[in-house]
Amino acid sequence: MASRTLSRVKFKPDLRSAKGTTIQRGLTIRFLRILTLIFLDVISLILACKLAVFLGTPLESPWTKQTSFLLLVLTVEIGLIAAQGLYKAGIFRRNYPALIKAVSLSGILLLLIAFLYEPESYVSRSTFLLFWFFSVAFICAGRCIFDVTTRLLRKKGAIRYPVFLISDIEDQESHIRLIEQENCYTVQGISDSKCLDRANREQTLEYLRNQGIVEALVSWNSIKNRLYVCWNFQTAGITLRILPTQNTIFHPKSVVWMIGEVPCMTIPAPIIAGSDFWVKRCFDLCCSIILLVILSPVYLLITLLIKLDSPGPIFFKQERIGLHCKKFKIWKFRTMVVNAEKMQKDLEAKNEIKDGVLFKLKNDPRITRVGTFLRRYSLDELPQVFNVLLGQMSLVGPRPLPLRDVEKFQTGHFIRQEVLPGITGLWQVSGRSNIDNFEDAVKLDLSYIENWSLWLDLKILLKTVQVVLRKTGAY
């Protein structure tokens, strides 16, 4: 089965890479909503301030006369409301208790600033209390007017998000009822979980992009065994909302979103799809060039040692299986005798990996004296910087494996081939060669793919230096 899969490979980009510069779908409506809410809050606060000064006890103070202090009031008030997440959609913007709390806290903060900045120029107590009361009343009234207007417009079919439902046939009716409760979606299509199968996935995503779908609402039963689907929606700029079922397990990148009274899991699309991945590629290229310049004396020294130690070429080039099972030549400093690959057949019986997918042998007789030293400090991997420059590898990612290993893959193992392979990865910094079961290594690769971020890559690179210096699990 594995060999058939390899023979049908077509070039595709890394799972985390967008097919083009894609702006998050539905961003315009969200941006206009936030701007409208901020505008209403600013008008409410200005009216509250003017009315409080007019009705309150007159007192000479720069806080009631200078425009700069009004700007400070607006900045503090709006900033605290935003910090509480009250400009988000749905129940967040309608959270009136939290809104009152944010306005009250900002009032106390402004009072403290006024005392510390101008202790001799107070605002009268009546003016302060009236400002607080009018601020709460006007802002809450503004939100209420905004909600009523929004509902009326949505009843007429305006400012609705076009969505696509993917759910098992028996659950579709209940999920549609749930979606209708929110009264902000237009369901433009429905399909069952088969549309997310490997054979249909590309066609489904292309259809969603062409139809201008902003959000995909997917039942947990349709996605739980398809971890890579989350990345496909992200790189398409489509927000993924996972509809709940019993015993739902939350995805690590998810946030909770309410549809009516029901909490649902949402995996939001980035503002610019694939931007993090292209930053990663730029980082790889820059670091590779810097490493080549800095380590050039080390390369020359290793070259000399290999030549003096044993006959044969300096570099070892081996065919490995990379992104989407595409074959490429990986570069290493030679650490074994020239006929090492032929000798492996005689050593298969001594393989220390329990399930036999990988081949590892602690005291491998094929390794040269210099090779032992190079492997202990992972110096044999240094030429793979050229693979990174050629775009065949990344600094961090699942390790590319030989054809012999990939041919023994089960179906679930191929997920690790969906992303660009790396010089180091979560597997390498979590035990290196001490891991004696391929399934454990795959779990680490899956964890990396699921939780990938630029920060995770940096942590793995730093951890790699620590592991290499300690010679943890190296042989």
Q: Which two tokens stand for residue 156?
A: 């007429």
DSSP class per residue in 401-429:
EEHHHHTT--GGGGGGGGS--EEE-HHHH
Q: Which two tokens stand for residue 25?
A: 């779908």
| H/E run at residue 369 | helix 369-376
- Residue whose C-alpha is closest to residue 213's, from 19, 15, 22: 22
- Residues with Cβ within 8 Å of 226's Cβ and at least 6 positions away in sequence, in order, are 196
Tokens 């098992």 belong to residue: 168
Tell me the pLDDT tens digit for each residue of 257-292.
666 666 666 777 776 777 888 888 899 999 999 999
- Residue whose C-alpha is closest to residue 18's, from 234, 226, 230, 220: 234
Contact 138, 48 (CB under 8 A): yes
- Residue whose C-alpha is closest to residue 370's, from 421, 427, 311: 311
Neighbours of 179 (CB within 10 A): 20
Compute the distance between CA of residue 76 and CA of residue 20 in angstroms, rounded to an integer.
Answer: 39
Compute the distance between CA of residue 378 and CA of residue 383 in angstroms, rounded to an integer.
Answer: 11
Compute the distance between CA of residue 95 and CA of residue 214 in angstroms, rounded to an integer.
Answer: 25
| H/E run at residue 215 | strand 215-219
Q: Which residues of 259-286 are buried (b: 16+ CB within 10 A; e: fewer)?
A: beeeebbbbbbbeebbebbeebbebbee
Backbone angles phi, psi at 4, to 5 degrees: -65, -40
Instruction: Strands of 128-267 (E only): list them.
Output: 161-166, 185-191, 215-219, 239-243, 255-259, 262-267
pLDDT of residue 1: 47
pLDDT of residue 50: 86
- Residues with Cβ within 8 Å of 363's Cβ and at least 6 positions away in sequence, in order, are 475
Q: Helix/strand/coil (H, E, C) string of 15-46? A: CCCCCCCEECCCHHHHHHHHHHHHHHHHHHHH
Supply the pTM of this predicted model: 0.54
Q: Indicate the domain borders of the chain.
A: 32-155, 160-273, 275-470
Contact 47, 134 (CB under 8 A): yes
- Residue whose C-alpha is closest to residue 424's, from 469, 389, 393, 450: 393
Tokens 């299986």 belong to residue: 321
| CATH code of the region 160-273 | 3.40.50.150
- Residues with Cβ within 8 Å of 9's Cβ and at least 6 positions away in sequence, in order, are 324, 325, 326
pLDDT of residue 471: 62
Tell me the pLDDT tens digit for each residue of 133-191.
999 999 999 999 998 998 888 888 788 888 999 888 888 888 888 888 777 888 888 98
Contact 298, 306 (CB under 8 A): no
Q: Which two tokens stand for residue 241?
A: 């909302």
Q: Which two tokens stand for residue 175?
A: 């999920």
> How crowded is the C-beta side of 410, counted as CA atoms within 13 Å?
6
pLDDT of residue 237: 83
| H/E run at residue 181 | helix 169-182
- Residue whose C-alpha is closest to residue 387's, from 300, 285, 277, 294: 285
Compute the distance between CA of residue 119 and CA of residue 114 in angstroms, rounded to an integer.
Answer: 7
Q: What is the mean pLDDT of each run of 10 residues along the chain (475 residues)?
A: 48 69 75 91 91 78 68 89 87 86 88 70 76 92 90 83 86 82 84 83 86 86 67 82 60 63 68 79 92 91 88 87 89 83 67 59 77 84 91 91 82 81 86 65 82 88 83 55
Compute the distance between CA of residue 328 and CA of residue 318 in angstroms, rounded to an integer.
Answer: 8
Q: Is 247 exposed, middle or buried (0-12, 13-18, 19+ CB in 10 A)?
A: exposed
Contact 264, 258 (CB under 8 A): yes
